[in-house]
Structure 1
Amino acid sequence: MGIFDWKHWLVILIVVILLFGTKRLKTLGSDLGETIKGFRKAMNTEEGETKPAESPAGETLHKPQTIDAQAQKVETPVRKD
Structure 2
Amino acid sequence: MGIGNIGLPGLLLIAVVVLVLFGRGKISGLMGEVGKGITSFKKGINEGQQELEQEASDAAKDVTPEDEKDKV
Q: Structure 2 length normalisation: TM-score? A: 0.60
Matched length: 59
C-alpha RMSD of the superposition: 2.9
Structure 2: runs of 5+ lacking an equivalent: 67-72
Q: Percent identity?
A: 25
Cα shift readout 1:27-64 (whole Å, capped 9, x = no counterpart): 122111111110010000011112236388526x9xxx
Kindly name which structure, 1 or 2, has the bigger radius of gyration based on alpha carbons: 1
Report matched runs for 1:44-63 at 5 Å.
44-50=46-52, 51-52=55-56, 54=59, 57-58=62-63
Structure 1: runs of 5+ lacking an equivalent: 62-81
For residues 9 and 55 of structure 1, the distance between their equivalents in structure 2, rounded to whole angstroms, comes to: 53
Report matched runs for 1:13-24 at 5 Å.
13-24=15-26
Select the structure with the greater relative contact order (CA < 8 A; seq sep ≥ 6). 2
Counterpart amino acid of residue 12 in structure 2: L
Provide runs of 4+ in structure 1 moved above 3 Å.
Answer: none
